[in-house]
Chain A
Amino acid sequence: MGRSIIADESVQKYIEKLAKENKWFIGVIIGQLTSQRDYVVHLARTPDPVEDEVSEENGEEDGGDGVVNVRQKSVVERPASLEELDEKWVSTHAKQVSRMLPGGLSVVGLFAIAPPAMLKAAQTKLRQMMSSVYKQLSKTSLTSPAAEITDRILLQMDTSTKKLTCVTVDIADFKSAPRPAEWKFQSGGSKWVRLNSNINLDIPITVPQDSKAQSLLKQIQVGLADFGSWIQTSVVTVGGAVRAGSEPLVAQGEKKGKGKGSAASQDECTSFDVGIFLPFVTSEVPQDPVVGQSQATINMVGTSVVRAFVSARATVADAIEAVKTDVLRSIMARCELLCEEFDVAEVTQGRSEVYDPPVRLFCRLPHTAVQVCDYVFQDEKTEEVKGRIQELLDIQVEELEEAEKSAADDDTWSQPSLPGVVSSQSQVAELTEKKSSVRAYLGAAVGGAVAAIAAGISYIYLNE
């Protein structure tokens, strides 16, 4: 039996809107895969590669910035058909969207809307696109749970008949044939449960002398692997209790208005506070110290907000998985964004730098009870963030919830004078005792960040 997919009503409206434009579209499907059924909350078309307005801005503000110049060169025309699509264009979009999703939600597939002939001609291309999207997404994820569902959705609409075709593709085995899946719209939207937490991070990373990882991002990613597996073994309490994974997260009796589909139910979202506990493993065999030479030490310290959404029908295990995913995805998202924005490779030997990655904010995904997030650098303006969210998710958002406080927000932010000082939560605060040169450094870097965001459409090319 194929997968059964339930999409919110708003998704239907979105598809209908795009279908009317008489153009072809490609984009990502956002939702949740579960062993029972899949939920789709949103579709976001991949933005067009060119918009004049943005190119102008690039030219004006960042003429001297080499990176942006390159970007300008790489701006290309929107291809005439799906078949001519650059796979990277879509996979980069998918990666950026993925960062914007709280735990529980992910890019569960791709959609394409095109005239029948173009669709037919692009079938192979679409399969390739699925492949490159999921290769890209797995590249930056820290760990993948063992029992992960490997089916992904490919939804197509033929603009002449307005007929929807839905199949699933097994990304663990691209050679296997796509399987037909059932796609249904549901009025009123699915019900969601929100999971909240904050996690204290204090992750020491050493980069071995002989490390093959060249870039800082790669070094961090390799270094975070241990932490990633530690998080996977963590004990997660839900609402203060240790619950059996197979239990339904919300007891049947607690669900209300089931099947009613009233508009009000969208706003309702049961929420749980979750606790995350990292177990210290024991080994029967005594261990000797492992001594190594390293070329760098990296330490990630601070508190990350954790948020996840799962279907009201989810099990406790689903909820826990979503929380763990959020922790790891958010850490990686911050590091990726940081490394994309700063040219950290230029750090001189023996230097010590403190970077503040962008901080997380949330906003409601319109017409749903779930939220999406974004990461914002210092000095980025609200309008710029909203603009980016609109660009990447194709939604208009009103309110942004700033869920975190940047260490650099404090105007006494400074670089610690002694090596090895920053490694505990309270010491982040200590960092802020003296003024120093880092402020200037950050200021300059943030300037670059602003420019990059102003670049709008071409933004997504940054990651090539």
Chain B
Amino acid sequence: MASSIEVSAKVLSAVTSSEWASRGIRGFLVGPANVQSPDDIQVTGVWHMELIDGNELKEDINACLSHFPCGNRVVGLVFLPSSNCSKSKSEADPACLAEEFAEQNGSGAQWLERLGLSQAAVLCLWRPGKSSEDAASMDSSVFLVSPESFALATITDTPRGKPPIRMRLKGNIPLTISTESKGEEALRAELDHELTRLQRHLQAGDLVYGLESNTVLIQSGGSVAAAPGLSWRTCGELYKNLGDVATGNKGKLGKAQTQPRLPVSILLRASTEANSENQYAPIIRHQTGSFQSVRVSLPMDILVDVEESVPMFDLYNSLSDAVLRQVNTLFSCLNVFTKNNKLLSPEVFHFHPSVLDSPVTIVYPRGLSDDELEEERKILHKHLCLPMDRPLLRRGASGLFLSSSAPGGYLLNTHLGLSDPPVKGGTVSTVVGYYSYHHYMQDKFDDDKWGCAYRSLQTLISWFRYQGYTDRNIPTHREIQKALVEIGDKEEKFVGSRQWIGSFEVSFVLDHLLGVTSKFISVNSGSELSSTGQQLAHHFQTQGTPVMIGGGVLAHTILGVSYSELTGDISFLILDPHYTGGEDLRTIHDKGWCGWKDMNFWNQTAHYNMCLPQRPACV
């Protein structure tokens, strides 16, 4: 019987549409560490890298895993066979493939040993034959490697059963680095020294993880210090129990929001067992001279996704492994970006690009601009098999998936949670990525009856900001007006006025402030909007940006379209900037301020212009 391996559709699509330079083992497959059935392989992430030889495998794996939530492990490899082993040949006779695999990199069994796995997935990629229509993407097959065999496996994409328990571990580890000489060497030596110190603490089990405002401490060996009488064997039991404790607020949070991540803190165990051999009373080292002292902190921030069945013992070890990996990453960032004897604080960012199944974590040095980090991002895009034409890992795009609102309290992606559009057999195409809802009366600014296009423009700009295309703030009405004066579209007196703007002004501002060009769709009457289905669907599929539409005296934002080519039925996902109420998602949904609208929504006789922003190709 052919075994099956669960590979997420997103990962498969990312892997096959990515560029792979040469043959051989070219990357890791990442998936949840399933302790209950370790042979059950799920692939939820990929890490493309050159594996020169096995010597640095451990570091390579750690570098890979440091970008994925704690609770993941390497579950397999990406392999590019030579032309001798074609897809059809390999699938028919995996032994040939196994042989080639073994020739280059050691047998499957050897790899299993290196990776510490009993079974592993090997995702093979082939360049498409000339006959293939979609030349951009590669052919793939998955094989299951066990110590005895190398067998073709079927790929499934069945969603996982129970969602993992999500946690977020945070804590700033302070460092004081004093160097006597000015040289960079001394600074690096001190950094190494501090790193060693932390590594020792980790090895000694000195770090402890605190839950529920530190009333529950997970200690080395998985023992839990909590209120007397409480004990847990697995994460599931722990979570359930803590859930019970925290029920006070649970009801109010409701189900609409994503499951919040359980905050976890890091503590240093200062107390120690009595009188071990190397224990001495405190001494004081005193050194005088002229030092440069730098105080910097390691802003630990780790996402944790663990299965309910994970025993506490394993949880402690996974957390400590993840902490060690991040400590190493942060130090490496400190080291790499130390120039002219100056340290840049490392900062941790979490991203969840819609093209990936799992969040990814990146460390960037604080103080370098997104432009200066372009090369870094290119490398990371490559590692993560992300498309090279869109900025998925810019700082501005980070963290939004962890909160329900954008900075400033604006609601994010208000269309999530709406019921399906009423179009039979229609294809739904919507905005890709994050935007915030901007509407009348926000920011303590009364723009009722005149500011709708400004608000729609703000939503458009929010998309560019939250996708990382820009780090500029979302402009106020005044800033928008100033921009229009700057480009000569309006006269000076326009600034501070309550004059309306339309689709063209929106595009001018996008161009002037963000360098974003726009396409237009114009219709002579609202009734003609029914013909725009295909164009809009194409826009959302290829660009994914929100669209501003102006007609008559009203402006709206279009977030998506549901269109049936067969029947011509169409429905528009509208975000209405005329809303004057508070940031209450329920009202916004119930009253239709964000919702699917049919053709009756439009003024059948008004002329409409749509502004469709085109995203620049960049990383």
Interface residues of A (CB under 8 A from B): 196-202, 204, 206, 208-209, 216, 220, 234-235, 237, 240-244, 274-283, 286-306, 331, 334-335, 338, 344, 347-357, 359-360, 404-410, 416, 419-420, 422-426, 428-429, 431
Q: A241-B225, A335-B284, A355-B286 are in contact. Are A280 and B265 (CB under 8 A)?
A: yes
Is the pair A349, B178 in contact by a Cβ cutoff of 8 Å?
no
Is the pair A199, B280 in contact by a Cβ cutoff of 8 Å?
no
Contact string, B258-286, partner A, CB cutoff 8 A, digits 1/0?
A: 00000001111111111101111111111
CB-contact partner of A357 in B226, B271, B283, B291, under 8 A: B283
In the assembled complex, the Cα of A290 lies from the Cα of B292 at a distance in Å of 10
CB-contact partner of A299 in B171, B226, B281, B284, under 8 A: B284
In the assembled complex, the Cα of A244 lies from the Cα of B229 at a distance in Å of 13
In the assembled complex, the Cα of A352 lies from the Cα of B274 at a distance in Å of 30
Is the pair B281, A404 in contact by a Cβ cutoff of 8 Å?
yes
Nearest 4 Cβ contacts at the A-B interface = A302-B282, A280-B171, A407-B280, A429-B278
Is the pair A302, B286 in contact by a Cβ cutoff of 8 Å?
no
B183 at interface, CB cutoff 8 A:
no
In the assembled complex, the Cα of A282 lies from the Cα of B168 at a distance in Å of 12
Is the pair B289, A216 in contact by a Cβ cutoff of 8 Å?
no
Report B-chain residues with C-beta under 8 Å of the C-beta of A208.
293
Chain A proximity of B126: nearest CB distance (Å):
45
Which single residue of chain A is at the shortest CB-CB distance from B197? A424
Is the pair A331, B295 in contact by a Cβ cutoff of 8 Å?
no
Subset of 7 A-B contacts with CB under 8 Å: A243-B227, A274-B271, A278-B268, A287-B297, A287-B345, A406-B280, A420-B178
B217 at interface, CB cutoff 8 A:
yes
Is the pair A298, B294 in contact by a Cβ cutoff of 8 Å?
no
In the assembled complex, the Cα of A296 lies from the Cα of B284 at a distance in Å of 12
In the assembled complex, the Cα of A408 lies from the Cα of B285 at a distance in Å of 13
In the assembled complex, the Cα of A185 lies from the Cα of B292 at a distance in Å of 59
Report B-chain residues with C-beta under 8 Å of the C-beta of A297.
178, 285-287, 291, 293
Report A-chain residues with C-beta under 8 Å of the C-beta of B342.
289, 291
Is the pair B270, A278 in contact by a Cβ cutoff of 8 Å?
yes
Q: A237-B225, A356-B281, A429-B278 are in contact. Are A276 and B293 (CB under 8 A)?
A: no
Is the pair B271, A296 in contact by a Cβ cutoff of 8 Å?
no
- Among B268, B275, B287, B292, find the residue whose CB has the most chain A CB atoms closer than 10 A: B287
Q: A241-B227, A275-B269, A279-B265 are in contact. Are A291 and B294 (CB under 8 A)?
A: yes
Report A-chain residues with C-beta under 8 Å of the C-beta of B221.
none
Is the pair B291, A206 in contact by a Cβ cutoff of 8 Å?
yes
In the assembled complex, the Cα of A106 lies from the Cα of B189 at a distance in Å of 45
- For the side of the interface on B, what is the size category? 35 or more
Chain B proximity of A217: nearest CB distance (Å):
11
Which single residue of chain B is at the shortest CB-CB distance from A203? B282
Which single residue of chain B is at the shortest CB-CB distance from A424? B197
Report the number of A-B residue pairs with Cβ-Cβ less than 8 Å.
252
B300 at interface, CB cutoff 8 A:
yes
Is the pair B295, A290 in contact by a Cβ cutoff of 8 Å?
yes
B538 at interface, CB cutoff 8 A:
no
Stretch of B65-73, B95-103, B207-215, B422-430 with 4 or more beta carbons under 8 angstroms from chain A? B207-215
Is the pair A350, B288 in contact by a Cβ cutoff of 8 Å?
yes
Report A-chain residues with C-beta under 8 Å of the C-beta of B226.
241-242
B200 at interface, CB cutoff 8 A:
yes
Is the pair B173, A280 in contact by a Cβ cutoff of 8 Å?
yes
Is the pair B281, A288 in contact by a Cβ cutoff of 8 Å?
no
CB-contact partner of B366 in A206, A216, A278, A286, under 8 A: A286
B299 at interface, CB cutoff 8 A:
yes
Report B-chain residues with C-beta under 8 Å of the C-beta of A353.
285-287
Q: A274-B271, A277-B268, A289-B296 are in contact. Are A216 and B286 (CB under 8 A)?
A: yes
In the assembled complex, the Cα of A237 lies from the Cα of B281 at a distance in Å of 23
Is the pair A278, B267 in contact by a Cβ cutoff of 8 Å?
yes
Report B-chain residues with C-beta under 8 Å of the C-beta of A234.
270
CB-contact partner of B225 in A220, A242, A302, A408, under 8 A: A242
In the assembled complex, the Cα of A290 lies from the Cα of B293 at a distance in Å of 8
Is the pair B293, A291 in contact by a Cβ cutoff of 8 Å?
yes
B363 at interface, CB cutoff 8 A:
no
Which single residue of chain A is at the shortest CB-CB distance from B346? A286
Q: A282-B170, A282-B265, A283-B172 are in contact. Are A276 and B284 (CB under 8 A)?
A: no
Q: A287-B345, A351-B287 are in contact. Are A244 and B172 (CB under 8 A)?
A: no
In the assembled complex, the Cα of A298 lies from the Cα of B197 at a distance in Å of 17
Which single residue of chain B is at the shortest CB-CB distance from A327? B270
Is the pair B288, A296 in contact by a Cβ cutoff of 8 Å?
yes
Is the pair B281, A360 in contact by a Cβ cutoff of 8 Å?
yes
Which single residue of chain B is at the shortest CB-CB distance from A237? B225
- Among B173, B193, B288, find the residue whose CB has the most chain A CB atoms closer than 10 A: B288
Report B-chain residues with C-beta under 8 Å of the C-beta of A431.
283
Chain A proximity of B88: nearest CB distance (Å):
53
In the assembled complex, the Cα of A48 lies from the Cα of B270 at a distance in Å of 41
Contact string, B289-322, partner A, CB cutoff 8 A, digits 1/0?
A: 1111111110110000000000000000000000
Report A-chain residues with C-beta under 8 Å of the C-beta of B278.
425-426, 428-429
CB-contact partner of A293 in B270, B272, B287, B291, under 8 A: B291
Is the pair A288, B173 in contact by a Cβ cutoff of 8 Å?
no
Report A-chain residues with C-beta under 8 Å of the C-beta of B406.
none
Which single residue of chain A is at the shortest CB-CB distance from B298? A280
In the assembled complex, the Cα of A463 lies from the Cα of B534 at a distance in Å of 90
B402 at interface, CB cutoff 8 A:
no
Is the pair B280, A428 in contact by a Cβ cutoff of 8 Å?
yes
Which single residue of chain B is at the shortest CB-CB distance from A354? B285
Is the pair A406, B225 in contact by a Cβ cutoff of 8 Å?
no
Report A-chain residues with C-beta under 8 Å of the C-beta of B344.
289
CB-contact partner of A199 in B180, B271, B285, B300, under 8 A: B271
Is the pair A300, B271 in contact by a Cβ cutoff of 8 Å?
no
- Among A216, A351, A424, find the residue whose CB has the most chain B CB atoms closer than 10 A: A424
Is the pair A301, B279 in contact by a Cβ cutoff of 8 Å?
no
Is the pair A288, B345 in contact by a Cβ cutoff of 8 Å?
yes
CB-contact partner of B282 in A241, A280, A286, A304, under 8 A: A304
In the assembled complex, the Cα of A85 lies from the Cα of B35 at a distance in Å of 74
Is the pair B197, A280 in contact by a Cβ cutoff of 8 Å?
no
